[in-house]
Amino acid sequence: KMRLQHLNADSSWLISLPSQTRESFTIVVDPWLEGWQIDFWSFFSSQKHGKTHPHVRSLKDLQFDAIYISHEFTDHLHRETLEGADRSIPIFATPWATKKLQQWDLGFRIIEVPLWSNDDHQSTTSMRRLAQRFLPDQQDGWYQSIPNDIGFAYLPTTNWMDAAGGRLHGVSVISCMNSQEAIMYTPHGVP
C-alpha cells in the first residue's frame, strides 16, 4: 500500500511504494530540511523554515532508497540538505535539476527523468530502465536493487505563460506500474 508523509511546511515528502521485488521502496521527494533556501539572490527569494520546522532535521534521520528532485529551485533541490545524505543513494531528477546536480558534483549517482511527450508509448519509465540508460558504465550492478515496477515521468506544461519555460508548473508522475496507482505531484499547481 502506498504511504505518504509530509516532511516540512514546503514540498518535501517521504513516499513508500509497494513493489513486487520488495515490501516497499521509499523515495524522498524534494528534500529541503535544513538551512536557508535562496534562489538567485537573497533579495529576490530567500526563506527558511520558521515556526513550522520540518518533522526531521536531516536526511540521516530517515531510511529511504532513492531521492527524486522535481525542480532545480532551492526549495526542491537544496544542496545543504543533500550534503547530509549517503552518497550510495541514487538521485532521480528532471533535466534541469540533473544539470545543476552535475555542476555541484556531490558524488551521487544521478539519473535523469526524461520529459514525457505525446510520442511516448508508455506513461512512465521504470526506475531500473532509467538507471541502466543513464549510467551504463556502472558495472557493479547496483541498479539491480532498483525496482522495475516503479516508474517516473515528468510532464512539462505547454502553457506559454509559464515564466520558467514549462518547468515551474509541470507535473511529476511516480507510478506503481503493477498496481496501477500513481502520484501526480504538482508543487506549484497546474496552470
What single-letter amino acid sits at 11? Answer: S
pLDDT, residue 135, reads 64
Lowest mean pLDDT among 23-32, 35-44, 103-112, 128-137: 35-44
For residue 183, which of 143, 123, 131, 132 has the smallest C-alpha distance?
123
pLDDT of residue 70 exceeding 70: yes
Q: What are the cell numbers at 167? A: 518547468
- pTM equals 0.82
pLDDT tens by residue, 130-162: 776 666 565 566 666 778 888 888 877 766 555
Q: Is 80 exceeded by the pLDDT of residue 71?
A: yes
Buried b / exposed e over 144-179, threshold 16 CB at 10 Å, is: eebbbbbbbbbbbbeeeebeeeebbbbbbbbbbbee
